[in-house]
């Protein structure tokens, strides 16, 4: 499966990574090469095989559904590039 420029543009957008229009053909080429490598997987007979969900056959632990932490707003906001009045600030989302 080869990736064309349009698909590369679509994938970049889905991944929310800005790619310049002139860089799309090279990106498409790189992605195609990696996908071609993955095509080998089609040689394998996977009939009746369940896809692996967990490498260790153990149930995920469950914890008590209780509050264990909180009141650390300042610490949570400390690394934010833009925090105002106790909130993360972002460009306007709703018109």
Partner 1 sequence: MSGLNELTIAAARDALRTGETTSADLTEACLAAIEGAGALNAFVHKTPEIARERAAAADKRLKAGDAPAMCGIPVGIKDLFCTKGVPSQAASNILKGFKPEYESTVSQQLADAGAVMLGKLNMDEFAMGSSNETSCYGNAVNPWRRGNEDAALTPGGSSGGSASAVAADLCLAATGTDTGGSIRQPAAFVGITGIKPTYGRCSRWGIVAFASSLDQAGPMTKDVRDAAIMLQAMCGHDPKDSTSADIPVPDFEAALTGDIRGKKIGIPREYRMDGMPDEIEKLWADGTAMLKDAGAEIVDISLPHTKYALPAYYVVAPAEASSNLARYDGVRYGHRAKLAQGDGITEMYEKTRAEGFGHEVQRRVMIGTYVLSAGFYDAYYNRARKVRALIKRDFETVFADGVDAILTPATPSAAFGLGEMADADPIAMYLNDVFTVTVNLAGLPGIAVPTGLDRQGLPLGLQLIGRPWEEGDLLNHAYVLERAAGFVSKPAKWW
Which residues bind to partner 1, rule: CB under 8 A? Answer: 1, 3, 7-8, 11-19, 27, 30-31, 33-35, 37-44, 46, 49-56, 58, 60-61, 63, 72, 75-76, 78-82, 88, 90-93
Residue 95 and residue 77: Cα distance in Å, rounded?
A: 25
Q: Which is nearer to partner 1, 67 or 93 (CB)?
A: 93
DSSP 19-69: --GGGHHHHHHHHHHHHHHHGGGGGS--TTPPPPS-SS--PPP---SS---
Q: How far is the CB of 74 from partner 1 (least distance, A)?
A: 9
Q: Which is nearer to partner 1, 70 or 91 (CB)?
A: 91
Q: Which is nearer to partner 1, 5 or 31 (CB)?
A: 31
């Amino acid at each position: 499966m080869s990736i064309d420029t349009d698909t590369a543009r679509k994938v970049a957008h889905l991944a929310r990574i800005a790619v310049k229009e002139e860089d799309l053909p090279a990106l498409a080429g790189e992605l195609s090469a990696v996908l071609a490598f993955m095509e080998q997987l089609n040689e394998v007979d996977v009939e009746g095989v369940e896809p692996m969900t967990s490498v260790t056959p153990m149930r995920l632990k469950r914890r008590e559904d209780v509050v264990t932490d909180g009141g650390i707003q300042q610490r949570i906001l400390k690394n934010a590039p833009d925090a105002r009045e106790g909130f993360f600030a972002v460009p306007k989302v709703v018109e």
